[in-house]
């Protein structure tokens, strides 16, 4: 009976974060130290977010969140205040995941697990750069995935 239970357990879907790590982190503060003395209007924020994944070995996948946040002065000169670029990744064990569910797991579930940690790193690095902590708004990875599928549909 236990052999049957072991066989069933071996065929169960497995979704597990194995390791989380920084691949790249950059903070640029081109106007320092003058930026701390000048008065600026409300800064403008331009955020680019991307999710990438690649198959490794033995049912392991790397999922990478790439975020660039550029802050510019809200006044007429629009000088760059600071730029944060991060590539934060994780290795996930995805075993016995049905093929039709693999893409949503890689594009939605994996980045959703990484994002709170990525957000914290960005917040800390902006604080360490001499600015107020930048707390990114939560990201709806399911909506991003659905939009991506809609954009790819006409191309196919």
Q: Is the pLDDT of residue 153 over 90?
A: no
Instruction: Please give the pLDDT value at position 50.
Output: 95
Instruction: Please give the pLDDT value at position 41.
Output: 73
| pTM score | 0.86
Nearest to 117, CA basis, from 88, 74, 141, 149: 88
How far is residue 148's CA from residue 64's CA, in Å, rounded to a whole number?
17
**C-alpha distance from residue 19 to each of 62, 103, 145 (Å):** 9, 20, 23
The torsion angle over the Cα atoms of residues 9, 111, 61 and 70, rounded to 10 degrees, is -170
Q: Is the pLDDT of residue 5 over 90?
A: no
How far is residue 58's CA from residue 95's CA, in Å, rounded to a whole number?
9
- Percent of the chain clearing pLDDT 90 (strictly above): 73
Q: Is 144 exposed, middle or buried (0-12, 13-18, 19+ CB in 10 A)?
A: middle
All domains of the chain, ordered by start, with CATH? Answer: 14-150 (3.10.420.10)
- The residue that leads in pLDDT, 2 or 56, is 56
pLDDT digits (tens, 9 = 90+) for 63-96: 999 999 999 987 767 789 999 999 999 999 999 9
Q: With bands split at pLDDT 50, 70 and 90, how would you rate the model's confidence at 51?
A: very high
Q: Is the pLDDT of residue 6 over 60?
A: no
Instruction: Please give the pLDDT value at position 3.
Output: 52
CA of residue 37 relative to chain centroid, distance: 32
Q: Is 36 exposed, middle or buried (0-12, 13-18, 19+ CB in 10 A)?
A: exposed
- Percent of the chain clearing pLDDT 70 (strictly above): 90
How far is residue 44's CA from residue 78's CA, in Å, rounded to a whole number?
8
Average per-residue pLDDT for the chain: 90
- The residue that leads in pLDDT, 71 or 11, is 71
Q: Is 76 exposed, middle or buried (0-12, 13-18, 19+ CB in 10 A)?
A: exposed
């Amino acid at each position: 009976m236990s052999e049957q239970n072991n066989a069933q357990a071996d065929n169960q879907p497995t979704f597990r974060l194995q390791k989380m790590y920084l691949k790249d982190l950059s903070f640029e503060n081109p106007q320092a130290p003058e930026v701390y003395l000048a008065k600026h209007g409300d800064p403008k924020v331009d955020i680019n977010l991307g999710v990438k994944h690649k198959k490794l070995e033995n049912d392991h996948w790397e999922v990478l969140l790439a975020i660039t946040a550029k802050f510019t002065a809200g006044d007429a000169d629009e000088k760059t205040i600071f730029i944060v670029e991060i590539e934060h990744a994780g290795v996930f064990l995805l075993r016995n995941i049905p093929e039709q569910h693999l893409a949503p797991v890689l594009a939605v579930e994996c980045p959703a697990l990484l994002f709170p940690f990525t957000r914290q790193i960005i917040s800390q690095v902006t604080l360490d750069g001499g600015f107020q902590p930048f707390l990114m708004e939560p990201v709806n990875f399911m909506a991003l995935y659905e939009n991506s599928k809609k954009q790819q549909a006409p191309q196919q």
